[in-house]
Structure 1
Amino acid sequence: MEKVFGLHAVESLLRRDGGKVVEIYVQQGRRDKRLGALIDLAKSHSVAVVECPRAKLDDLVSGRHQGVVALAEAAPSFDEKALPGLLAERPDALVLVLDGVTDPHNLGACLRSADAAGVAAVIAPKDNAVGLTATVRKVACGAAESVPFVAVTNLSRTLKALQDAGLWVVGMAGEAEQMLYDIDLKGPVALVMGAEGSGLRRLTREHCDFLAKLPMAGSVSSLNVSVATGVCLFEAVRQRR
């Protein structure tokens, strides 16, 4: 079982897969329109709704719960063995690879962009990276349940497996000479984004078919990884239209 909190995250979970929600805890005495609609939605899925003091909600989760916490069956997790099956379903698969993203808010935002862009899978290393925490799920607003998240033990080996499966691997690096807009992203592609601050690791770079960058016209040298991820994914979406 896992805890999902926040109005949007719980609502998305109920609408997407209400059968997995076992119970919802709501803040005692709170009766605003949005929470009322969420309670009605939960009852329509025959989900038990329990009122409790705010202090109990604070104890249940660490984060801004907005007066609601859901107890639900854990979303399925994937490992590298699942990748061939996920890719077989999408001959023109767009895959997002995150090389060591450690901030749960960044991962949640990346998952949300991945869902919107129709990504087949999001891949990240098991070590030195954030996993699917409750905060990640809240920020992802339901995308953590809809986009397969694949945690792998060896990212370099996984990139090689993606290449063997016919995907071009494009790593984003600020010092690259080529612009992302000049690369063909219409076929099966894996976009690789670096970690906050340090960017792509050396071994990850060496396993990329191409390195590319985004044009930076201002005084800052780089974008936040979740912002850059959204820009890159939707360049692929634009080319595929």
Structure 2
Amino acid sequence: MAGIPGWSIFLDPAYLSGGALINRALPNNVTQNLDAAQTPATFSNDAPALSMTSARRVQPNTAVDPNVWTFFWVINGSTPTSLMDLAGSVTPATSPNLSLKIGISSDGARTGIYPNTATVTPRLAYTPGSNLFGRTALLMYTFSTRDGLRIYENGNLVATDASDKTPLTSGYTAGQWRLFTNARGLIGMTGHLNIDLSWPEYAAQRVAMETFLKAKYGIT
């Protein structure tokens, strides 16, 4: 995966420093824990994981390009009290402005990309055939002002809105957004890139990444 351009964050639960995640996308970069130290665990196939039994928010201190981005995580979630964030702005924007909000609903029935908070209609949502909690899944979310929004599950394109090409307007600079707010369950490798991995020119790299992650975590 090192040959893919645009990396901002690459977190591997196997790489911790003093209980904080090392950002392997950047040299000498350790993320900030906003709650307790990260707790190492394993998935059912013994792949390294983070155990999210209580608040374990992470401040990555890197910026998101508001015009083009990709987020992904491997997760085997359990029930939180509200929307489980992969990524979210510290201060949500006020409609019609857009801030960062990507996550899984509190019942595990849906994942989506939101305009600002979880209380509004998602910009793009995906409801899988089986609940997202209690099973391991690779979820990827992409956006660009060229091609709009997409969601992938386990390497399959499952939701798209090519007409939504509005960039983020706030909450995307370093220090203005966080990872894993209200996350519960097990989390594996997680990343952010300032490119749109859904673009045809990155198809080979995306497929290679998905193939690697699915094999590592035993996802079929």
TM-score, normalised to structure 1, is 0.26
Structure having the higher helix fraction is: 1
TM-score, normalised to structure 2, is 0.28
More contact order relative to length (CA 8 Å, sep ≥ 6): 2
Compare CA radii of gyration and give the structure with the larger one: 1
